[in-house]
Amino acid sequence: MIRDLRAKKEIAEKWDTVKKLCAWRRGVSLPGVFYNETPPPTFYNLPLVLAYSVLEEVLNTLESEGVFQCNAWQLGRKMGASKMALRWQDFTQVDRGRDARNALAHDAKLLSRMECLRFVDAIERELKAWNII
């Protein structure tokens, strides 16, 4: 859907970073011992914020390419303005995640690992449906 191949490639690379963070684990092997380290549940709030940043970049790019029009800078307004032009898989879920991301960013309300991954997965379904990734 994005015509600018360079922008599409950069978005795909940023999404790869989100996915790597969601799957991050580290194992350390010492003689006779294997230690598996997983991040704390609150760690997953980082890829959540990054995922919504990628979504915002996608919508900004699509808007600049004329796919839809929006005079506002807020992500929620851009999402709403794009509803007629984009085939959203689950707009409501992504919008709930946007609200949760805002609560995290503005009020330090941390989400659980499962909540973060659920919202990241919802964005990924949209990006795949729009042939972005």
Rounded to whole angstroms, how far apart are CA atoms 103 and 100? 5
Please give the DSSP secondary-structure letter assigned to residue 27: E
pTM here?
A: 0.91
- CB–CB of 127/61 below 8 Å? no
- What digits encode the pLDDT tens for the residues 82-125? 999 999 999 999 999 999 999 999 999 999 999 999 999 999 99
Token pair for residue 22? Answer: 């969601």
The total of other beta-carbon atoms located within 10 Å of residue 55's CB is: 25
Three-state SS for 112?
Answer: coil
CATH number for region 5-129:
1.20.120
- What digits encode the pLDDT tens for the residues 23-81? 976 666 667 776 667 788 899 999 999 999 999 999 999 999 999 999 999 999 999 99
Locate the domains of the chain by residue range. 5-129
Work out whether the CA dihedral 35, 40, 46, 51 comes out positive or negative.
positive
